[in-house]
Amino acid sequence: MPSLWFDIAHLFAGGVLVLSLVLLYQDRVTAAINVFALQAITLALSVGWQAFIQSEPLLLVTALMALAVKGFVIPMALHRIVRRLDVHREVEQVIGGGATMLAGLALVALSILLLQPVSGAGDVVAHEDIAFALGVVLLGLLMMITRYNAVTQVIGFMSLENGLILAATGARGMPLVVEISVAFSILIAFIVFGVFVFRIRERFDTVDVTVLERFRGERREQG
Amino acid sequence: MPDVTIGLGCAAGFLVIGATGAAIGRFSFAKTVIYGLSLALSLIALGLALSFLLRHAEASTVILPLGLPGTGAHFRLDALSAFFLLVVSLGGATTSLYALGYGQSERAPLRVLPYYGAFLGGMTLVVLAADAYSVLVAGEFMSLASWALVVAHYRDPAAVRAGYVYLVMASFGTLCLLLAFGLLAHASGEYTFAAMRATKLGPEVAVAVAALALVGAGSKAGVVPLHAWLPLAHPAAPSHISALLSGVMTKVGVYGFVRIVFDVAADQSPWSGLVALTLGGVTAVLGVLYALMQHDLKRLLAYHTVENIGIIFIGLGLALAFRANGQDGVAALALTAALFHVFNHAVFKSLLFFGAGAVLTATGQRDMERLGGLIHVMPKTAVVFLIGCASISALPPLNGFVSEWLTFQAILLSPQLPQWGLKFAVPATGALLALAAALAAACFVKAFGVVFLSRPRSPEAAAAREVDRFSLSAMFVLAALCVLAGILPGFVIDWLSPVTSALTGAVLPHQASMPWLSIVPIAESRSSYNGLIIFLFLTASGLFGAAVIHKFATRATRRSAIWDCGFPLDSPVTQYTSSSFAMPIRRVFGAAVFGVIERVDMPLPGEMRAGHFQVRVRDPAWRFIYGPLARSVARSAQWLNRMQFLTVRSYLTLVFLALIGLLLVVAAWR
């Protein structure tokens, strides 16, 4: 196989990672949703390319599912939620954008540092894809913990899951059943999150989770 | 049928008795049935153990398809098991006999009867078990059954607290034993004692196993500073249970230690012996000092158990040190002394607890300050209690003297040890042992004097009556054993020879063939002791003295003014009390060891109120170890409690940070 093909695979995987970093920097909910959609489309391209170079037609099904569900259905649904709830304003961040970006870069460095010396097992594609994938997972987690807004936390979670799919398709021989079940669990999680967000909104007139925490029954007064 | 099968049958029988107790406990005849059956079964087990030792029988093993899958439960009866089975079943038999009378007054029989059989069965299983899994399960079963007995009188807050402390300590001990067996199983790859025995251990592993065994088994036995549960739990239980707990169950702890360091993990260095020996010496002295400060009769006895466990561990430590240096003959002597003391303590401590129970039944009092003069109303109990006191104080010709004398014989051979540390430490421990023995005598002068002599200090004490014949017969049996083992110790030593030959590879000279039934631990030129001659001499001289006095003293009645010892009042409160008796020793050791606070509240001249004298004695184990430990646990629990009230985001952050930390460790590791 020409080495160009590997480079293209790296390009797509790297694209997913870069979009994760872009996602981390967004301070508007609508922009974050758009970046997430873009990331999902890039992921679909990456998986489709993997299907081609691994000659695994079943991976195409995964790519199509990622494209349809995460590239279009979920972002559109999120946009609808945001319009309905009227929360397309700035998102409050726990720590500032610059600091978050620095932390994100450090995480990417860490994941490459971790997986670079691993040699022998697997081919080169799998190898570097997994480093990217771990970076995407860590960035998704970082996004979840640095936002107060429930919708952006959902996006962080979804982006984390994109990293898992990237890792799974990079290695050879991932059964389709596992991917389908992962996709379904994401769908269920999305529904649960959606219901949850609506309930928060109905009850407290906001989707800022700090408000929610104030209403926890067992919370002890700090004294 | 192999011997071990009979032993297992006895254990199963005890468990069935426990179940029967649960089924029929509410009927009035249940106590007689349960205790009667336990007595019969204990006698069978006693016969088995005794015949095993006398026949020098071969060890027999049986594997039951229980426990861990693929391993099975191994049980084995060898000389060591047989000796401890003898102790357990002797205690079980006499306790059951005693309980036939004493147990009748139990108000809540359903809280005692089911666990009684279970407790005896558990102890029997522990001494028979021959793999790590079975011994731990049986040990936990025994602990739980005895815990249920400790909290039998659960309406008493002291009993509940005692049960709580006991449970914590028992769990801690089991944890240590679990770790010890884990190390051994790792080294040998199997859970059976046979495989562990065959494995050669590295020196670090052997030391770690010995330390864990000392802590684990020591917490069951009551080695300072792990003794804290013992003076709480033993008095809280009904008296016959106290006798079992103190006289027998602590010996099961000793058994665990002996089994591990002498048999299963036998490659020990001399320094393990030094640790056991030093700890034993400290335990003996502190135990007896605490005992002196007590005025609750059962608590006093419980603290004396701590002292005697210390004496036993001195013997065991000596045996370890000598064996590690290849001096098997002396090791056999020290081990014989320790095991002899195990037997003796089981006998006289049961006897003393039975006596305390009899006093409790007769007067309803455990507080010695409210007793007195019982020798007039309970003469038989007084006689057997006196024999028990003399035995535990190590007075010849009784059995306590023999085992302590043997321990001293081993201590006197310490110059033969090559290590200088041991050469110095062993005589120092000997001094501690001597101190403990002297203080024990003082303590039992106090116990017997305050409880049985003088005049009654309360109306209940004055109205006491002698107890029932079952209780008395149990006490007389034990008192007879004290005397017999004291005047004919050679036979007991010969019974122990299969144990010492299995564990140290050496035996003492055959004692029954010595002239005049003397005991000669090493050689006649060096030292020998003859309990029988001393007994005969004491009896003869006593009778002769009495005869002379009766013959030649005048019987004329003289009348004179009563000498009132300087007391102007004719009230029982002017007598010596238990705490006034202990005052000199409290003053000597008080401030340093016990943190004693004495407060005198004396009315000024002209004031009409009563004066008060208050003494506060604290166990330093609580002050320096358990108190700070409990506080730090509470503090960290308080701190961790905050973790219950974080936000979802904070939990996610914690997960994230933990993940990053682990990844960093992985990155740095390579």
pLDDT digits (tens, 9 = 90+) for B389-403: 999 999 988 999 999
pLDDT higher than threshold 80 for residue B537: yes
Indicate if the alpha-carbon torsion angle B125, B131, B135, B138 is positive or negative: negative
Helical residues (DSSP H) of B76-112, grouped into ranges: 79-102
pLDDT surpassing 70 at residue B357: yes
For residue A141, the chain B residues in CB contact (below 8 A) are 652, 655-656, 659
* Phi and psi at residue B599, to the nearest 5°: -130, 125
Mutate to test the interface with B, among A95, A105, A145, A148 (most CBs of B within 10 A): A145
**Cα–Cα distance for residue pair B383/B386, rounded to 1 Å:** 5
Mean pLDDT of chain B: 89
Residue A144 is nearest to which of B645, B652, B660, comparing CB atoms? B652
- Average pLDDT of the residues in A158-164: 85
- Which carries the bigger pLDDT value, residue B71 or residue B474? B474
Window 202-221 of A: residues touching B by CB (8 A cutoff) are: 209-210, 213, 216, 218-220
Encoded tokens for B377: 């109303």
Q: Under DSSP, is residue B73 helix (H, G, I), strand (E, B) or coil?
A: strand
CB contact under 8 A, B663 and A110: yes
Residue A220 banded pLDDT, cuts 50, 70, 90: very low
Is the model more confident about B588 or about B401?
Answer: B401
- B650 to chain A, minimum CA–CA distance in Å? 8
Q: How far is CA B266 from CA B66, B125, B395, in A?
A: 28, 23, 35
pLDDT at B615 over 70: yes
Q: Residue A214: closest CA among chain B residues belongs to which residue? A: B647
Residues of B with CB under 8 A from a CB of A: 644-645, 647-649, 652-653, 655-656, 659-660, 663-664, 666-667, 670
Q: Which residues in chain A touch residue B667, judged by CB atoms under 8 angstroms apart? A: 110, 113-114
pLDDT of residue B19: 93
B-facing residues of A in 144-163 (CB < 8 A) are 144-145, 148
Half-sphere exposure of B137 (CA within 13 A, CB side): 15
Cβ contact, residue pair B660, A114, below 8 Å: no
A116 touches chain B (CB under 8 A): no
Q: How far is A95 from chain B (nearest CA, A)?
A: 13
Q: Minimal Cα–Cα distance from A187 to chain B, Å?
A: 21
Is the preceding omega at residue B225 within 30 degrees of 0, hence cis? yes
Residue B143 has pLDDT above 80, yes or no: yes
| Of residues A43 and A115, more confidently modeled | A43
Q: State pLDDT tens for residues A171-185.
A: 666 666 566 667 767
**CB atoms < 10 A from the CB of B351, how many?**
29
Distance in angstroms (rounded) separating the CA atoms of residues B138 and B125: 6
Helix axes B469-487, B489-504, angle to 10 degrees: 70
- Residue B57 pLDDT more than 60? yes
CA distance B81 to B339: 12
User: With 60 as the cut, is the pLDDT of residue A142 above it?
Assistant: yes
Does residue A223 register a pLDDT over 50? no
Residue in this structure with the two tokens 């049985």, named with its chain if needed: B452
Burial of B303 (0-12, 13-18, 19+ CB in 10 A): buried
Rounded Cα distance between B466 and B643, Å, is: 61
| Residues forming beta bridges with residue B77, ordered by sequence position | B60
State if pTM tops 0.95.
Answer: no
Which residue of chain A comes nearest to B652, CA vs CA?
A: A145
Q: What is the pLDDT of residues B299-341, one digit of tens each?
A: 999 999 999 999 999 999 999 999 999 889 899 999 999 999 9
Query: Which residue did the predictor score with more confidence, B562 or B112?
Result: B112
Alpha-carbon gap, residue B33 to B41, rounded angstroms? 12
Nearest to B38 by CA among B18, B54, B52, B68: B18
What is the percentage of chain B residues whose pLDDT exceeds 70? Answer: 99
Cis peptide before B397 (omega within 30 of 0): yes
In this complex, which of A107, A145, A210 lies closest to B652 when CB atoms are compared?
A145
Q: Is A117–B670 a contact, with Cβ atoms under 8 angstroms apart?
A: yes
- Domain ranges in chain B? 576-616, 621-669
User: How far apart (Å, rounded) are the C-alpha atoms in residues B244 and B145?
Assistant: 12
pLDDT beyond 70 at A125: no
Q: Under an 8 A CB cutoff, do B667 and A110 touch?
A: yes
pLDDT tens, A26-75?
888 888 999 999 999 999 998 888 888 888 787 788 788 888 888 888 88
A66 close to B (CB below 8 A) = no
Q: What is the C-alpha separation between B615 and B478, in angstroms, rounded?
A: 36
End-to-end Cα distance, chain B: 61
Mean pLDDT of B639-650: 81
Query: Which residues of A fall within a CB distance of 8 Å from B644?
Result: 218
SS3 B519: strand
Q: What is the pLDDT of residue B103?
A: 82
The ipTM of this complex is 0.81
Tokens 């020996």, residue located: B277
Give which of B309, B563, B568, B574 is closest to B436, Cα–Cα. Answer: B309
Beta strands of B343-455 (E only): which ranges?
none
What is the rounded average pLDDT of the residues B9-33? Answer: 91
The structure tokens 């290849």 sit at: B326
Q: What percent of chain B has pLDDT over 90?
A: 55
Q: Across the interface, which of A114, A144, A209 has its CB nearest the CB of B666?
A: A114
What is the pLDDT confidence band of residue B243, given thresholds at 50, 70 and 90?
very high
Residue B193 and residue B262: Cα distance in Å, rounded?
Answer: 12
Distance of alpha carbon B201 from alpha carbon B186, whole angstroms = 10
**Cα(B241)–Cα(B86) distance, integer angstroms:** 18
CB contact under 8 A, A145 and B649: yes
For residues B241 and A158, what is the distance between their CA atoms, to the nearest angstrom? 65
Contact of B410 with B318, CB cutoff 8 Å? yes
> Partners of B63 in the beta sheet?
B74
Rounded Cα gap, residues A186 and A158, in angstroms: 7
Which among B647, B655, B663 is the nearest to A114, CB-wise? B663
A110/B649 touch (CB, cutoff 8 Å), yes or no: no
What is the SS3 assignment for B129? Answer: strand
C-alpha B142/C-alpha B522 separation (Å) is 39
Between the CA of residue B486 and those of B8, B85, B348, B593, B632, what are the distances in Å? Answer: 32, 21, 12, 34, 49
pLDDT band at B539 (very low <50, low <70, confident <90, very high): very high
A107 vs chain B: nearest CA distance in angstroms? Answer: 8
Buried b (16+ CB within 10 A) or exposed e, A101-111: eebbeebbebb
Strand partners of residue B62 = B75
Q: Choosing among B639, B644, B663, which should be mutated to test the A contact, i.e. which has the most A CBs within 10 A?
A: B663
pLDDT classification of B568: cutoffs 50, 70, 90: low
| Least reliable range by pLDDT among B145-149, B560-564, B644-648 | B560-564
- To the nearest whole angstrom, how far is the Cα of B660 from the nearest Cα of chain A? 8
How far is B638 from chain A, CA to nearest CA, in Å?
13
Phi then psi for residue B38, to 5 deg, are -60, -40
Mean pLDDT (whole number) for B239-260: 94
For B666, name the nearest residue in chain A, comparing CA atoms only: A114
Position B610 pLDDT exceeds 90: no
pLDDT, mean of residues B188-201: 87
Q: Which residue has the tokens 């002379």?
A: B548
CA distances in angstroms from B251 to B151, B206, B212, B243, B342, listed in the order given: 21, 23, 18, 12, 7
Task: Mark yes or no for CB contact A219/B656 under 8 Å.
Answer: no
Of B320, B361, B636, the residue nearest B475 (C-alpha): B361
- pLDDT, mean of residues A2-9: 81
Give B659's contacts in chain A (Cβ within 8 Å). 138, 141
Residue of A nearest to B667 (CA): A114
pLDDT for the residue A53: 83
User: Long-range contacts: A77-86, Cβ < 8 Å, 24+?
Assistant: A77/A190, A77/A194, A78/A33, A78/A36, A78/A151, A78/A154, A78/A155, A79/A30, A79/A33, A81/A151, A81/A194, A81/A197, A81/A198, A82/A29, A82/A30, A82/A33, A82/A151, A85/A197, A85/A198, A85/A201, A85/A207
Partners of B648 on chain A (C-beta within 8 Å) are 209, 213
Q: Is A114 an 8 Å CB contact of chain B?
A: yes
